[in-house]
Copies of this chain bind each other. A is one copy, B any other.
Amino acid sequence: MPSFSSDGPNRRFMLGVLAALPTLPGLLGTTVAQAQTAQAPTTPLASWNDGPAKQAILDFVKATTDRASANYVPPDDRIATFDQDGTLWVEHPLYTQAFFALDRVHEMAPHHPEWKSHEPFKAVLANDLPALAHFSEGDWAELIFATHAGMSQAAFLEIATKWLATAKHPRFKRLFTELVYQPMTEVLEYLRANQFETFIVTGGGQDFVRAYSQRVYGIPTQQVIGSSLGMKYQFKDGKAELMRQPKLFFNDNYDGKAIGIDMFIGKRPFAAFGNSTGDREMLEYTKAGSGARLSMLVLHDDAAREFAYGPAQGLPDTKVGTFTQGLYDEAKKDGWPVISMKNDWKRIFAFDTL
């Protein structure tokens, strides 16, 4: 279990994790895999190697969609939920939204001369990576509130969309939206082809993810559940707008993921995919339902093609928001198949050769 209280007001939210920031400089020189645009797969899960992980997905879909199956699920109840960061796309060395927040600080700095002498802004403006690696939850909250609030929803969408069109990942030198795991895209498509509704359930800000979810994942905004800020309704001169407030309204992480699923969907998922302790309650909640339920974990064990972190690195269970040994043990005990990126995936990205 994480070392912090899951009930207190200061628990981790949105992006308070720097999974392995000190390794950032080393990553910048890593060779990137050959770029190549993926062909649309003609068979389900084409980027998956045969093995227990792929088989678990195929078996689950057969069990829930075959009318002759004892575990048949009517289409109306076919709900599948996916964590985003580290499950659908790269989260290393920082969440994409954290890169966005840091860039926003630099961009907004001319209007905030006081930031030069005020932490955590001072460290961000000085590109002080060791300091960033030790930011507290409160530091990240301050950065988020300063960069994500104080504008309308429409204005925020425009800012996020503009950033996403040009910002690139430091290692892969590609747009962040290109760093989606092709095998997981195929899972989304395979489930949707079998009449599952696919939801993103992210600890990140839901409005940030909604800026690209349709285009990148084929998931409409109303199927994106995430953390959110308080909103204020404003109506003047016939213009109705929602203004983003510098306070957390909903923390869609840990127990918040199970609560968010119930609040937004009102049905228990039949399948859920995650990669960290932030997903634990979603996976438990899913797996505890009756009939055929599938909870799966993505293990980052491929340093050559992506990154390696989690139980392979012997991290203690107190490490926040990662695939810990404790989570690994729970997966083994409760029958959650673990996806090895190294062994189960033929390729990581759509631009990798198959």
Contact = CB atoms under 8 A, between A and B. Distances in A.
Interface of A: 76, 79, 153, 197, 206-207, 210, 214, 220-222, 224, 228, 231-233, 235, 238-240, 242, 249-250, 255, 258-259, 262-267, 281, 284-285, 287-288, 334
A214 B76 contact: yes
Contacts of A287: 240
Contacts of A76: 214, 220
Copies in the complex: 2
29 contacts: A76-B214, A79-B222, A153-B262, A206-B263, A206-B266, A210-B266, A221-B265, A222-B264, A222-B267, A224-B266, A228-B263, A232-B255, A233-B258, A233-B281, A233-B285, A235-B284, A235-B285, A238-B288, A239-B288, A240-B258, A240-B281, A240-B284, A240-B285, A240-B288, A242-B258, A242-B259, A242-B285, A249-B263, A250-B263
Contacts of A285: 233, 235, 240, 242
Nearest to A250: B263
B233 A334 contact: no
B266 A221 contact: yes
Contact of A255 (B153, B228, B233): B233
A241 B220 CA distance: 28
Contacts of A222: 79, 197, 222, 264-267
A281 B231 CA distance: 13
A209 to B, nearest CB: 10
Contacts of A224: 266
Nearest to A261: B242
Nearest to A222: B265
The 6 closest A-B pairs by CB, nearest first: A221-B266, A233-B255, A240-B288, A240-B285, A222-B265, A240-B284
B281 A334 contact: no
For A153, A197, A222, A232, the residue with the greatest tally of chain B CB atoms inside 10 Å of its CB is: A222
